[in-house]
Amino acid sequence: MDKGLDKGIHQEKERLVYYKALNDIANQIHSAKNINEILINLKNQILGLFDADRNTIYVVDSKTKEIYSRFTAGDFPNEIRVPINNKSIAGFTANTAQITNIANAYDRHELTMINKDLAFDKSWDEESGYITKQILTVPIFFKKYLIGVFQLINKKNGDRFTLEDQNSAIEMAKILGIAFFNHQKLSKKGKKRTKFDYLITNSIITDKELERAIAMARDQKTSIETILIDEMKVKKGEVGRSLAEYYNCEYVPFDNNYPIPGDLLTKLKQVYLKNNLWVPLAREDGKVKILIDNPQRLDKIDSVKSLIRAENYEFAVGLKEDILQFLDYFYGTPQVQDDGSIDDILGKLDTGDEEEAEDAAQMLTEDDSAIVQLVNKIITDGYKKNCSDIHIEPYPGKLGAEIRFRIDGVCQKYQTVPYHYRRAVTSRIKIMSDLDISERRKPQDGKIKFKKFAPFDMELRVATIPTVGGEEDVVMRILAAGEPIPLDAMGMSERDYNLLLSMITKPYGIVLVVGPTGSGKTTTLHSALAHINQPGTKIWTAEDPVEITQRGLRQVQVQPKIGFDFAAAMRSFLRADPDVIMVGEMRDHETVATGIEASLTGHLVFSTLHTNSAPETITRLLDMGMDPFNFADALLGVLAQRLVRTLCKSCKEPHHPTREEYDNFVRAYDGIFDALGVPYTDDLTLYRANGCDQCNNTGYKGRTAIVEILDGTDEMKSLIQSKAKMEKLRDQAVKDGMTTLMQDGIRKVLLGITDLQQVRRVCIK
């Protein structure tokens, strides 16, 4: 009896000790300055009440639908966040308000008996070497509101947490519930809201640190946000989130993949937007989204609404730096001047001292603003100068990188980039082209959609080629969108014009336009298509890339990397009820064979080929294995083309040629020269290049086409069927009335359009 009494007295003493300790902790909880003091400073004292290894106190964040807890890591507070759902033990308790008492967290069967989705995250155990077994979680309520979760981990004796432990945890949860509610109520009452409440509430910074940041911002004449990010190392996303909570709107950080809202920027000046710190982001379903530094500034909002008309507006908050980055990205580059020169940008790169320059070159990257600006300026200037190709040519040693523009078919030096920065320029172009910047040993090909980097709607085809000294050349071809030229404006002779019209208006057959790269083949084909583009005609085109667009044409971009090449596109077209098919290039047996088959089955087929002359095209196709009878039946004609520079209309100089010059024309013509009707007389006037400001003192401005058209006559078809040699094909084409490229060029010389030197540059016969 005495033993039983002693045991009862001992248990009563333990209960008194427990309640005294519980009362002491309750007092400390209620006197804590804020929730963070409870989460961080009182954890160990709370743990002393329970026969457990660890405890965690979570608080509900209703905005993110998460529960979070804080702990110290070194000198700084850190945070755990758990989604409120059934996929974790604490998350399950927060989601269902149910107590869980688990004997073995690793026992999958025990967890699924509670809920089929319930799981235990082992990652913390694996990192720390700690083994979690028993877990007790209790919801923290205040009245009917769930505001947190109290969790105990691992009973020290290795058994499951008892019912007494569970009841003690429920009591602790009640105390925490009252304290949390009171702290949240006090924090909202009588305190003026600031943009940085989220940072203070979540112990990311202290009140004193905020006061110091405000003082520093005032002294340095910069924003508080900049001080917090740069000086106090607060994460940019946390500052943005704090602003979003204060202004009750979305925070949008800078993203260089954001679509450029070209339609919203057309009437807005970049300088104005920079001064007022706002930028339009998108228009969707009648609603315009605006990024602004202060969505509560009524004057700015009124300005937005007066400049951009819309049914509805959505305002998002952004940091000053993000808004400026968006503006630089949307408009192309940080502006040096309204139209800064390349020399101004290069001046930024020039360090003066050679040793300092070497150091700067090592630190300089492709993302540095001056490099970004330089590359954008090079491309923009090339576009403005009607350049077709941009060549970046680095030389080994200290010779720098030479940049040349191909304008009207001729390369012209544009600028030299200092040798310290040539690799950064190449890397920047690779990034814009989605190429591998680490691969410098083999050629790469890519494309730049320049609308992502500047307000110019164009594409560039990019090729990088390794060169001597470990350098890489870059060639960018500008594929600017264009309009087809009317056929009657192409300067063809009467015979060529009428013959081409006859070919392209036939119901079926194949028409080829041939010449080297950059000879205007695609433009000529689109001009032909524009002539026959009527509502009653179904036209399919397969191109790489689609440069010229026309309403009424159904145009397809081929993608060889995924197996969708010209041959595959043509096979698809044949199942899509075409009248006319245009294929960008016939470069292989399959494409040519499919094209011939299509033309023999009632379709008109247009395509291009890389050959030097019209007769050579026939021998090339026969060499590729085409059946000569099918090919002869299908062929309507071949147009070979070159582009020659034209004399500048502003400064071309008239002159009377000598008899020797005239005789040179006659010899070069290699035909019946008298047919041109230009005899040598004292009144004969030709033109030569001079040079003026309009043509950059070159004497030439623009280009025109010289052509030769082989007609698919019966005699020509007979020669094709017999696989005749190219010389016989040429002779027959001339008998059929073909004027060669050289002859058409000389005709244009006598018309004063170009000169013989330019014609000789592009053709032999």
Question: What does 35-93 look like in DSSP terms, one character per residue?
Answer: HHHHHHHSHHHHHTTTTEEEEEEEEEETTTTEEEEEEEETTEEEEEEEESSTTSHHHHH
| pLDDT of 10 higher than 80 | no
Residue 31: predicted pLDDT: 59
| pLDDT of 350 higher than 80 | no
**Token couple for 356:** 């300092």
The answer to whether the peptide bond before residue 545 is cis (omega within 30 degrees of 0) is yes
Residue 39: predicted pLDDT: 60
Query: Quick one: what percent of the chain has pLDDT higher than 90?
Result: 21
Strand order in the sheet with 604-609: 553-557, 539-543, 580-583, 604-609, 509-514, 635-647, 700-711
| pLDDT of 275 higher than 90 | no
Provide the pLDDT confidence category of residue 9 given band limits of 50, 70 and 90.
low
Tell me what percent of the chain is helix, strand and coil, each rounded to the nearest 5.
Answer: 45, 25, 35
| pLDDT of 281 higher than 90 | no
Residue 4: predicted pLDDT: 57
Residue 421: predicted pLDDT: 78
Residue 104: predicted pLDDT: 92
Whether residue 386 contacts residue 393, with contact meaning beta carbons closer than 8 Å, is answered with: no
Residues 6+ apart with CB under 8 A from 231: 213, 216
Average pLDDT over residues 280-302: 84
Q: Say which residue, 144 or 718, is predicted with more confidence.
A: 718
**Token couple for 415:** 């600028």
Residue 351: predicted pLDDT: 45
Cα(746)–Cα(750) distance, integer angstroms: 6
| Residues 486-497: tens digit of each pLDDT | 888 888 888 999
Cα(609)–Cα(115) distance, integer angstroms: 68
Average pLDDT over residues 744-762: 89
| pLDDT of 389 higher than 70 | yes
| Residues 584-623: tens digit of each pLDDT | 888 888 888 888 989 988 899 999 998 889 999 999 999 8
Provide the pLDDT confidence category of residue 358 given band limits of 50, 70 and 90.
very low
Helices 369-384 and 422-432, interaxial angle, to 10°?
A: 70
**Token couple for 1:** 């009896």
Q: Say which residue, 329 or 427, is predicted with more confidence.
A: 427
45, 72, 152, 172, 510 from 49: Cα distances, Å: 7, 21, 11, 10, 92
Q: Which helix (H) or strand (E) holds 152?
A: strand 145-155
| pLDDT of 73 higher than 60 | no
Residue 707: predicted pLDDT: 92
Query: In the 8-state DSSP scheme, what is residue 559?
Result: B
Amino acid at 620: R
* Total number of residues shown for the chain: 765
Q: Which helix (H) or strand (E) holds 28?
A: helix 2-31
Task: Determine how many CB atoms are found less than 10 A away from the CB of residue 507.
Answer: 9
Query: In the 8-state DSSP scheme, what is residue 638?
Result: E
Nearest to 708 by CA among 680, 730, 725: 730
Q: What are phi and psi of 92, to 5 degrees?
A: -65, -45
**Token couple for 420:** 């310290």
Residue 169: predicted pLDDT: 85
The two beta strands, 539-543 and 553-557, are parallel
Average pLDDT over residues 663-687: 85
Q: What are phi and psi of 572, to 5 degrees?
A: -65, -40
Whether residue 534 contacts residue 528, with contact meaning beta carbons closer than 8 Å, is answered with: no
Provide the pLDDT confidence category of residue 765 given band limits of 50, 70 and 90.
confident
Residue 37: predicted pLDDT: 63
| pLDDT of 355 higher than 60 | no
| pLDDT of 63 higher than 90 | no
Neighbour-count burial of 14, counting CB atoms closer than 10 A to its CB (0-12 exposed, 13-18 middle, 19+ buried): exposed
| pLDDT of 360 higher than 50 | no
- Please tell me whether residue 581 adopts helix, strand or coil conformation: strand
CA 223 remoteness from chain centre: 30
Average pLDDT over residues 512-536: 89
485, 617, 756 from 709: Cα distances, Å: 18, 12, 21
| Residues 108-127: tens digit of each pLDDT | 999 999 998 898 988 888 88
DSSP notation for 416-443 = EE-GGGHHHHHHHHHHHTT--TT--SS-
Average pLDDT over residues 188-204: 72
Query: In the 8-state DSSP scheme, what is residue 51?
Result: T
Cα(396)–Cα(398) distance, integer angstroms: 6
CA angle 208, 213, 214 (to 5 degrees): 100
Residue 321: predicted pLDDT: 87
Residue 3: predicted pLDDT: 55
Whether residue 622 contacts residue 720, with contact meaning beta carbons closer than 8 Å, is answered with: yes
Residue written as token pair 């690779």: 430
| pLDDT of 362 higher than 50 | no
Average pLDDT over residues 42-66: 78
Amino acid at 322: D
Helices 163-188 and 2-31, interaxial angle, to 10°?
A: 20
**Token couple for 173:** 């949860």
The two beta strands, 580-583 and 604-609, are parallel
Residue 38: predicted pLDDT: 66
Q: Provide long-range contacts, Cβ within 8 A and 24+ apart, for 441-449.
A: 441/466, 442/466, 447/545, 448/379, 448/476
Considering the chain, what is the average pLDDT of its residues? 82
193, 209, 287, 323, 679 from 214: Cα distances, Å: 15, 9, 36, 21, 88
Global pTM reads 0.52
Residue 147: predicted pLDDT: 85
Q: Which helix (H) or strand (E) holds 446?
A: strand 444-449
Provide the pLDDT confidence category of residue 191 given band limits of 50, 70 and 90.
low
484: left (phi over 0), alpha (psi -120 to 50) or beta: beta
| Residues 720-745: tens digit of each pLDDT | 999 999 899 999 999 999 999 998 99
Sign of CA dihedral 536, 540, 541, 547: positive
